[in-house]
């Protein structure tokens, strides 16, 4: 029983007491609270609440900093002995918190933290050839680490070379830079075009002539797909992707796959030939807004089998007294009404000839008011209204600025009749 009580006391003692390196305390103080009277060497034996200590200034110790460790520290144990919470970079130490932006690797038996900045910062072969910087491998060359090149790898097919390092292709025996035709490849036009590096050559070039890089406007190219072109196909042949629609050719369906200046959809109103900019009005056999939107974004059904732009006025629509009411022109700002010749037009207040209240007129078209029977714009002057003396007195002209009255058979602007003659009434 006495032995058990002794063990419990020892355990309790170990849980509550900490070492300073020079003795035991219940709570550690910061390194800066310790003083020295020698050259500062004694600080290296102290432990504070902020870890192992080092000589500071003005006779005070200071906390050690991971990045101040000697480059001869090459293992995590050495760095942790220097200061708890430090890991090695392979040549010196860094705080474990810095590793949030780094890559953890295994080198021999040591787990280390390597900065993903550049290959040249990696100091050992094993680390160098295990790391990718910006998703590209590094290569150990004599005694330094550098970025890998295509010619560091041997392969006889393009896919393997490109897997080892992006943009590499094979020249038959090893990997070479696939972006430099002239420096890496030779051959006839046919031979150069067979390389995955997108090379070509003059029509009569000999097998010993250096290849040339393809350009999108090479006249002899007849590719009909973007992958073979390396840029974009214009139907038959290749073209830069910033060309205008008229630079492309093909059927309507082929032209519809192109975009002029990378933004404008193309079309063809003929069965073949040069493409043109696609427009809403080129659509045929349409039946509703959904079909027009599918043909070209921003198009609406025009009521006559084609489409119009949303910005089109009511006069661009075709319809009857019923169907014109379904359209709105000028970006949906103007309700439409039946016009002449089967065309629609903008609805006006005067198209309502029966309403007798401002509410009904405003429902028919916003900003309309009744003129007695039928509707007029609320900006109209008093003579545009009709009614008895009592009715005229209820009207206001010019959006409410003028009060109306009745004189003879007309509603007029109210004046002091003692000082105005009849010719001034408007």
Query: 232: how many CB neighbours lie within 10 A of its CB?
Result: 20
Instruction: Return the structure tokens found at 56.
Output: 């500071």
Domain boundaries, the chain: 2-64, 67-148, 151-214, 215-278, 279-347, 379-426
- 108-137: per-residue pLDDT in tens? 333 556 655 678 877 778 778 877 788 889
> What are the DSSP E strand ranges found in 30-102?
47-48, 51-55, 61-63, 86-88, 93-95
Instruction: Give the pLDDT of residue 106.
Output: 37
Which among 358, 356, 395 is positioned nearest to 412, based on CA atoms? 395
pLDDT of the residue at 8: 34
pLDDT tens-digit map of 26-81: 888 999 999 999 999 999 999 999 999 999 999 999 999 998 999 888 888 899 89
Element (H, E) at 9: helix 2-16
Alpha carbon separation from 125 to 94, 104, 121, 146 (Å, rounded): 20, 16, 12, 11
pLDDT along the chain (426 residues), means of 10: 39 58 83 93 92 93 93 87 84 71 40 66 76 84 91 90 88 84 85 80 91 81 78 78 85 88 91 93 95 95 96 95 94 93 94 92 90 85 76 73 74 56 46
Q: What is the pLDDT of residue 116?
A: 57
Longest dimension (CA), the chain: 128
Is the torsion defined by CA of 39, 41, 44, 46 positive or negative?
negative
Containing 336, the helix (H) or strand (E) segment is: strand 334-338
Q: Which residues contact 181 (CB under 8 A, 6 or more apart)?
A: 192, 195, 197, 198, 199, 200, 210, 211, 212, 213, 214
pTM of the model: 0.46
pLDDT recorded at residue 12: 42
At residue 342's C-alpha, the angle toward residues 339 and 347, to 5°, is 25
Q: How far apart are CA 309 and CA 292, in angstroms?
A: 9
């Amino acid at each position: 029983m006495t032995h058990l009580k002794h063990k419990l006391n020892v355990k309790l003692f170990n849980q509550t007491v900490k070492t300073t390196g020079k003795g035991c305390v219940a709570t550690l103080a910061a390194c800066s609270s310790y003083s020295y009277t020698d050259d500062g060497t004694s600080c290296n034996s102290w432990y504070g609440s902020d870890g192992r200590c080092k000589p500071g200034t003005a006779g005070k110790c200071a906390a050690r900093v991971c990045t101040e460790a000697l480059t001869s520290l090459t293992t995590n144990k050495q760095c942790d002995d220097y200061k708890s919470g430090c890991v090695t970079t392979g040549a010196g130490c860094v705080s474990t918190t810095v590793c949030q932006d780094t890559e953890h690797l295994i080198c021999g038996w040591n787990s280390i933290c390597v900065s993903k900045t550049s290959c040249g910062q990696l100091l050992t072969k094993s680390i160098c050839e295990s790391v990718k910087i910006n998703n590209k491998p590094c290569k150990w060359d004599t005694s330094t680490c550098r970025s890998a090149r295509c010619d560091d790898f041997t392969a006889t097919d393009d896919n393997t070379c490109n897997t080892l390092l992006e943009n590499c292709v094979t020249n038959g025996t090893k990997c070479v830079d696939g972006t430099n035709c002239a420096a890496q490849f030779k051959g006839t036009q046919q031979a150069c075009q067979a390389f995955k590096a997108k090379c070509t050559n003059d029509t009569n070039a000999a097998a010993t002539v250096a290849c040339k890089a393809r350009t999108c406007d090479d006249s002899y190219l007849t590719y009909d797909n973007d992958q073979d072109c390396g840029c974009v196909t214009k139907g038959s042949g290749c073209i830069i992707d910033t060309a205008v629609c008229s630079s492309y050719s093909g059927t309507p369906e082929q032209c519809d796959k192109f975009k002029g200046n990378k933004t404008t959809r193309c079309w063809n109103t003929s069965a073949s030939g040069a493409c043109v900019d696609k427009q809403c009005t080129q659509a045929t056999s349409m039946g509703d807004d959904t079909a027009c939107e599918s043909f070209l974004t921003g198009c609406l059904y025009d009521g006559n089998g084609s489409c119009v732009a949303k910005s089109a006025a009511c006069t661009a629509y075709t319809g009857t007294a019923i169907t014109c009411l379904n359209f709105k022109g000028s970006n949906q700002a103007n309700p439409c009404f039946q016009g002449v010749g089967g065309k629609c037009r903008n609805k006006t207040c005067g198209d309502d000839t029966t309403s007798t209240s401002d509410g009904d007129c405003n429902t028919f078209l916003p900003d309309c008011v009744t003129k007695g029977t039928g509707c007029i714009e609320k900006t109209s002057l008093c003579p545009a209204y009709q009614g008895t003396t009592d009715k005229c007195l209820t009207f206001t002209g010019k959006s409410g600025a003028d009060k109306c009255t009745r004189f003879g058979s007309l509603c007029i602007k109210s004046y002091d009749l003692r000082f105005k003659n009849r010719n001034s009434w408007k």
